Amino acid sequence: MLVDVPKQVLVTGASGRTGFAVFKLLWENQKEFVAQALVRSEKGAKMLEKLGASVGDSESIKSSNAKLRALGMPAEDEDPDIFIGDILDGDSLAPALRNCDALVICTSGVPQLRKTELFKSILSKLIGRQRMPKFYYKEMPEQVDWEGCRNQIDAAKEAGVEHIVLVSSMGVTPAKNNDDNILNQIGDGNILVWKAKAEAYLAASGVDYTVIHPGGLLNKAGGEREIVLGVNDELLDGYEARGATRAIPRQDVAMLIVQALRHKELVTNKSFDCVSKAPGEGRTTVSFAPLFEALS
């Protein structure tokens, strides 16, 4: 790719909380990035339209433009920034990935709390009993985190994408990824099993990749904490020794992703974990290249 030419980046799952944060940050840095988004519905598209992104011209306008061009009159179709598609339908991914330099995968199975569970949990707490709330998935992790992720990797490879950044989760190493892991127990989804399988598929794809494993995701402001990186789930048990918590704001994860796109040469074919220190502890992270360089 030519120097100073903005990278064209597709963010999937862009209407989710983490995906939205990534797309927004890319959209705000248009000198460096041409941000595109894949969402599942028009409702998701409307969230991004508030940022100024567009779904492009309607079919009726495209038809009208075609007629004008046939008459020799200038009429260009507006290219979309937002694509509506389904990661379980590989054919719907191709238009969104056309001419893209990078793909950021933010899709993931999302557990839902059953309506009666909140009441039951509160009642159990009042009578002094410990009770694990029951969750369910609208779409199981096997579909979203494995099949959907595999489809995205295949489509990106077919489109000639040069870099895939996958947002996964801590806990995917064999030592932690077992039946006792609470994340696997939620909704009987075995979500870490399927995330690990997708990571292995990506690593074997031949496409340059970066895998980011966030700790617990916080809906807090970014840019206010010191970010701590590790590998191989060492932070799950060793976060306190690093002066950190086991969590990180989504906005800081979004910044890590954008920095990974900026410093591809430092994170190519690497996987790393990320958490943060509490606000006021340590020094707010402003330089990311040294963090990446320190990864083993």
Q: For residues 38 and 52, give the distance between their C-alpha atoms in angstroms, rounded to a whole number.
A: 15
> Which residue among the candidates 15, 108, 168, 169 is catalytic per the annotation?
169
Q: Among 262, 261, 267, which Cα is nearest to 291's? A: 267
178 CB neighbour count, 10 Å cutoff? 11
Q: Is 169 a catalytic residue?
A: yes
Sheet strands side by side (includes 7-12): 82-84, 33-39, 7-12, 102-105, 163-167, 209-214, 270-276, 227-230
CA distances (Å), 192 to each of 156, 171, 179, 198, 294, in order?
Answer: 23, 7, 10, 10, 26
The total number of residues shown for the chain amounts to 296
Q: Which residues are catalytic?
A: 169
